[in-house]
Structure 1
Amino acid sequence: MKRPEISVIVPVFNVEQYLSRCIESILLQSFYDFELLLIDDGSFDNSGKICDEYAKKDDRIRVIHKENGGVSSARNVGLCNAQGNWVCFVDGDDSIEKAYLSILFVENLKESSLVIMNYLDDLNVKDIQLSGKEMVKYFIESKLIRGTGPYCKLFNNRILKYNNIIFNTHVHMGEDGLFLLQYLYCIDNMIVLENRKVYNYIQHPGSLSTKYYTFESEYECFQLWHRYLCQFVEKYGEVFENVEVVAWKSRVDEAFLRSVQALSRHRPRYKFMRVLHLLEAIPKEHTDNFGFYYETNLLRRKLSRFLIKKRWFVMYWLYSKLDFLYNMKYGKI
């Protein structure tokens, strides 16, 4: 049986309201040579049934039902089962325009290891093919590092499998960026495409980007972002000496701030002594560097930065609780 050119992986969890639109948008692609993997991550609404109904209608669809393990777990199951030469991701509550796969499947694809389509409106990115140090330099200078979601990208399945690149299931925010950084470290060429407005991202109250997770999960995300930054600096040292890396280091700062903020967010409710223990266990080098690249005009952010850098953790905890209650009262959280 001939391998499909592209495996489209869709993690599905309780998205019955959006799922049919998502699947239909994929089946209507002008590019036909693909398989569609619908990974039902233990949905308890009608999402699983909807997947099965579509699989009966189109032999390009494969449905895999699994116990709930989160979006990274679902994507990893998709990666394990993907038979295509290339892999792309679409979220179950999003949709794509008819030309989405055709645009990603560029003519000179075999000469590259990654296709990235910019989807950030404020980035002026043009179509370009890059390799080696120029690839890393462009990725940093163009600030594409801000667009690290798995969508609008085409990954080489052989490279993914050879290097065992999967999503980190312990990290629940920023795991898609970590996945991309692992992949970038293993390749030496890529194609960048300007924004074509062909991916329709839907953000709603249940979206992952609206949630905070445990300190442990958020802090592990920060540590991994920091580690990958150091690895890239070691591999492409002279590039990092000559380009502005504020966008990258801002992502590291943002991950650090999220981890600290998690201690005063909804769940779990950390007790005072537990909070102090976790904060005091943070290495001084991390608090010393925090906020150096994360510019902000918000007074509350500046105050948080000041208290953390000073390691005045009792005062920070009291302030963060008051700030959290204030934002809850006025509906800002």
Structure 2
Amino acid sequence: MSPSISILITTYNREQYLSAAIESVLAQTYSDFELLIWDDGSTDRSLEIAHTYANQDDRVRVVAASHQGIARTRKAAIAQMVSKYIGWVDSDDILAPTALAETAAVLDAHPETGLVYTDYLDMDTNGQIRGYGSRCRIPYSPQRLLVDFMTFHFRLIRRDVFERIGGIDESSQYAYDYDLCLRLSEATQVRRLPKPLYFYRNHPGNRSLEYKQQQILWSQIAIANALQRRGLANRCEIEVKLPEGRFILRRKESVPGGVGSREWGVGYKPELTNRGKKFSIAGGVGSFLVALPLATLLQGNPVQAQAITPANDGTKHDRFSQW
């Protein structure tokens, strides 16, 4: 009989952090899971470390593959997973002991929900906690997800819904997970579990300038594709300014309904309010949303992201922290 949950760890030259990630999964209070560790052609000791754990625990499987990159690797790995619920842990991060138990309970209790996600804590290279994740402060809605990637970590996904929307689109490359969440938000209910059940490690390897620039560019494409699917492409357009990675969501000048119209597309209306006023949206992916009056956007003026400001907890939030 297949386990209820399949968890994936993909790794590429992460020997420094891999053991901690694996052990955090094996320490789960919920035991009915399989762990697939997929090595993406590592040249360090990552594969050796993975095999050590597989020899000790029959819930662990290891696949050694040639280097393909994160999106292709994750898609290929998920194709080999067998459970009704699926999720993944990055090879440099840590999963809280009750994460699987608590997220599986949400999906079990709410069959209409296809994705549940948790809050997370930021930690440094050495595993010291640096504060509550900035994205946790962002309330979820399918509309707000257009500019704010709050469905960050940890996510548990219903497998049949994942398959129904086509799974991971490897052409989305550096923004494959953001693109996936956008498509899931259009097909199923999404629930937030407001507990920090994931530890996200910040270190030089995931903060490189080239990596961030690629995420910004591919996120712009993911947003544009979402606007097209939602029937908004003829009304709104997304722009990005480099190198700072500032996104602009602009109302196109020729819009059916004229100035002041609230009709943004089929089934879509802005949902944000502030003292009873309707607001439009603009901002950077993975950051706090900047809200301005709808009339400002309808007048054709672009709405831009603002600069990052430090939070009291040491994280970056409120005005567009970048990936």
TM-score w.r.t. length of structure 1: 0.64
Aligned length: 245
Contact 1:253 1:293 in 2 (8 A): no
Report the 3-state secondary structure (helix = DSSP H, G, I; strand = E; otherwise coil) of the residue aligned with 1:155: strand
Give the residue type in structure 1 aligned to 2:305. Answer: E
Q: Percent identity?
A: 24
1:258-287 deviations in whole A, cap 9, x for unaligned? Answer: xxxxxxxxxxxxxxxxxxxxxxxxxxxxxx
Letter in 1 for 2:117: I
User: 1:236: how far off?
Assistant: 6.3
Say which one has the larger Rg: 1
More helix by share: 1
Q: What are structure 2's unaligned runs of at least 5 residues?
A: 121-132, 233-263, 273-278, 288-299, 309-323
SS in 2 for 1:237: coil
Contact 2:172 2:222 in 1 (8 A): no
Q: Distance in 2 between matches of 1:102 and 1:161?
A: 23
**Secondary structure, aligned partner of 2:10:** strand
Name the structure 1 match of 2:45.
46
Partner of 2:26: 27
1:147 to 141, 146, 150: 150
- Give the alignment partner of residue 250 of structure 1, picking from 271, 277, 283: 283
Contact 2:119 2:197 in 1 (8 A): no
List alignment gaps of at least 5 residues for structure 1: 127-136, 255-288, 299-333
CA distance in 1, matches of 2:155, 2:180: 12
| CA deviation map 1:173-200 (0-9, x unaligned) | x33211211222222x232211x22211
Normalised by the size of structure 2, how large is the TM-score? Answer: 0.66
Structure 1 residues 30-62: Cα deviation after superposition (integer angstroms, max 9, x where no partner): 001111010100000000011111111111111
1:9-158 alignment, distance < 5 Å: 9-106=8-105, 107-119=108-120, 120-121=133-134, 123-124=136-137, 138-140=141-143, 145-149=148-152, 151-158=153-160
Shift of 1:230: 3.5
Structure ranking higher in strand proportion: 2
**Cα offsets for 1:202-257 (capped at 9, x unmatched):** 111111x43325988864542331121232355963433444452xx423699xxx
- Distance in 1 separating the partners of 2:50 and 2:67: 16
Aligned twin of 2:220:
222
* Contact persistence 1:116–1:152 (CA under 8 A): yes
Alpha-carbon distance in 2 for matches of 1:223, 1:110: 31
1:71-108 deviation digits (Å, cap 9, x = unpaired): 21221122111101011110011111211111111251
Q: Flag the 1:28–1:162 CA change in 2: closer, same or farther, 3 A.
A: same
Q: How many angstroms apart in 1 are the aligned matches of 2:283 and 2:134?
A: 19
Aligned alpha-carbon RMSD (Å): 3.2
Paired AA for residue 226 in structure 2 = Y
SS of aligned partner of 1:230: helix
